[in-house]
């Protein structure tokens, strides 16, 4: 309550609602999601566009702090907004005119006051694309990891099943970022599917869970590729998980194959 | 016969076979398919890679001379080759190591002597991608035309049907290139289909015919978009076709939405 009084006394508008924007971006053009001084980041670009539209400083919260090179189709960011915010179509046009190439604001929704794109999320879905074979990809080169070996999809699927459920995923997390933190997460889906994208044959790994540790999806994919290329047996992935040691699992797959696909919220957050 | 004697006398190898390469490229990086002095072209890049591998000058023939900005998934090029050409996997690795980023040699096949990727083709398939709506595309931006209006797919389909069959397509061809030339072509398929590509919603126009005039697919797409956006009725496309006058049809859609998808040959050309 006292914060609110101070804000009003200082002449600021009290936030009447929270707005959630759904954002897509080509991670190749940005130094990651999180704002960093002197670097072009997704957060910095969105905040700067919002500041131009709202004529005041704005701070956004993202559902996932994607690393440099990682893409997003359905990243969600939230910010406090006055009631006189422009209607969604007008707001989208203004923001898309102000954000740099490679970022698109796809939609805007009103949420209840205090909504956080990060803390209210109930699940996150990521997709990781892999191109196999001798011929390097042309159209999906920016969005897929090129692995020259052929991959055995069935053994990748069997390995992926061993990761389902609630586990300590310390073996699949950047070591420094795991220290002193809770590293238990729940994985609901690990799907490995061949698909054709822009005419090129890919293998897509789809992963859905409540939340993810730093580089967790890329560590899972790097580990599944060890199995798919025949270097390891599927059972090894279960042992790697139990070891709770990053060095027990496979390498981290490169950032540019990964896309934050979708973030889910409880229905009752929307106004 | 006399040409052959001259070649043998001059110490050149007599071509023992013709080789067909299937090529994919991102047209955004090249000044078109056809070789041009001082410019980076697809033909120039492939010929230069082949010359390094075969250690002699090579001239290739392409199935379609795509314009600057137009992409290809299944362009086919042919060239005369000695019998001691490396086996396909080795040849592909060498060529893909030598061609610039944005060109990939997908496969190599032997064809009977005298095979021409251009003159032996029995059909060509092109696909044109369109993104509609306020939000500009992120992942398909290089490969799709962004049209802000929504498109009525049904009326585009009805308009497309009026183009099927054998017609004089002079209304859908760059005027200068049609002068004094036969402009009758046969169109077998005009399909308009909504699809999701890299998570973004597109409308794809698929066109298949025996051969195409200069900018013909782009003129067809520009004309169908006039109908889809409600500026014209489907019947207008039939009138535009009959007029045999470029100004009677719609504008030429931009190059970067177009991909040469596939070229078909009679089965008996392959060795």
Q: What is the ipTM of this complex?
A: 0.87
Residue where the block lists tokens 């994208």: A197
Among A71, A197, A199, beta carbon nearest to B261? A199
CA distance A252 to chain B (A): 23
B89 reaches A (C-beta below 8 A): yes
Q: Is residue A137 a contact partner of residue A39, using CB atoms and an 8 Å limit?
A: no
CA distance A103 to chain B (A): 7
B102 reaches A (C-beta below 8 A): yes
Residues of B in contact with A141 (CB under 8 A): 26, 101
Alpha-carbon torsion (B223, B224, B230, B234), positive or negative: positive
pLDDT above 50 (res A1): no
pLDDT band at A122 (very low <50, low <70, confident <90, very high): very high
A26 reaches B (C-beta below 8 A): yes
CB contact under 8 A, B139 and A261: no
pLDDT band at A12 (very low <50, low <70, confident <90, very high): low
C-alpha span between B78 and B109 (Å, rounded): 10
Query: Token pair of A128, please?
Result: 């990781």
A107 reaches B (C-beta below 8 A): yes
Closest CA to A3 of A86, A111, A80: A80
Alpha helices in A142-263 (DSSP H): 153-161, 175-178, 216-228, 235-243
Q: Is B123 exposed, middle or buried (0-12, 13-18, 19+ CB in 10 A)?
A: middle
Instruction: Tell me the per-residue pLDDT of B98-127, one tens digit each, with 9 for 90 and over.
Output: 999 999 999 999 999 999 999 999 999 999
pLDDT above 60 (res B8): no
| Secondary structure class of A3 (helix, strand, coil) | helix
Instruction: Tell me the per-residue pLDDT of A237-250, one tens digit each, with 9 for 90 and over.
Output: 999 999 999 999 99
Point out the residues of A that are catalytic.
67
Among A92, A198, A200, beta carbon nearest to B135? A92
Point out the residues of B that are catalytic.
67
Closest residue, chain B, to A133 (C-alpha): B106
Among A26, A138, A198, beta carbon nearest to B25? A138
* Probe site for chain B from A139, A143, A149 (most B CB atoms < 10 A): A139
**Lowest-pLDDT choice from A164-168, B78-82, B163-167:** B78-82
Closest residue, chain A, to B25 (C-alpha): A138
Instruction: Tell me the per-residue pLDDT of A59-101, one tens digit each, with 9 for 90 and over.
Output: 999 999 999 999 999 999 999 987 778 888 899 999 999 999 9
DSSP one-letter code for A89: H
B244 reaches A (C-beta below 8 A): no
Among B92, B135, B259, beta carbon nearest to A106? B135
A201 reaches B (C-beta below 8 A): no
Mean pLDDT of A41-51: 97
CA distance A204 to chain B (A): 11
Residues of A in contact with B92 (CB under 8 A): 134-135
Closest CA to A24 of A87, A75, A85: A75
Q: Which long-range contacts (CB under 8 A, 24 or more apart) does B12-15 make?
A: B13/B82, B15/B80, B15/B81, B15/B82, B15/B113
B143 reaches A (C-beta below 8 A): yes
CB contact under 8 A, B143 and A139: yes
pLDDT above 80 (res B11): no
Instruction: Tell me the per-residue pLDDT of B136-184, one tens digit each, with 9 for 90 and over.
Output: 999 999 999 999 999 999 999 999 999 999 999 999 998 888 888 899 9
């Amino acid at each position: 309550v006292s914060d609110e009084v101070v804000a009003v006394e200082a002449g600021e508008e009290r936030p009447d609602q929270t707005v959630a924007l759904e954002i897509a971006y080509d991670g190749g053009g940005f130094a990651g999601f999180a704002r960093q001084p002197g670097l072009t980041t997704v957060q910095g670009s969105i905040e700067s566009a919002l500041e131009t539209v709202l004529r005041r400083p704005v701070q956004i919260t993202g559902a996932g702090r994607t690393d440099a090179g990682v893409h997003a189709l359905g990243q969600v960011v939230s910010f406090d907004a006055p009631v006189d915010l422009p209607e969604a179509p007008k707001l989208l046009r203004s923001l898309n005119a102000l954000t740099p190439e490679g970022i698109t604001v796809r939609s805007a929704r009103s949420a209840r006051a205090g909504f956080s794109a990060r803390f209210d999320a109930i699940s996150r879905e990521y997709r990781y694309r892999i191109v196999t074979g001798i011929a390097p990809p042309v159209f999906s080169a920016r969005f897929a990891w090129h692995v020259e070996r052929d991959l055995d999809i069935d053994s990748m699927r069997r390995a992926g099943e061993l990761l389902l459920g609630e586990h300590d995923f310390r073996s699949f997390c950047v070591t420094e970022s795991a220290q002193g933190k809770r590293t238990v997460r729940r994985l609901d889906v690990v799907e490995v599917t061949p698909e054709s994208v822009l005419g090129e044959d890919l293998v897509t790994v789809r992963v859905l869970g409540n939340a993810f540790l730093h580089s967790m999806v890329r560590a899972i994919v790097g580990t599944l590729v060890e199995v798919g290329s025949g270097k390891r047996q599927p059972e090894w992935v279960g042992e790697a998980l139990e070891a709770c040691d990053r060095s027990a699992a496979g390498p981290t797959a490169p950032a540019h194959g990964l896309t934050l696909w979708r973030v889910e919220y409880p229905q009752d957050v929307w106004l």
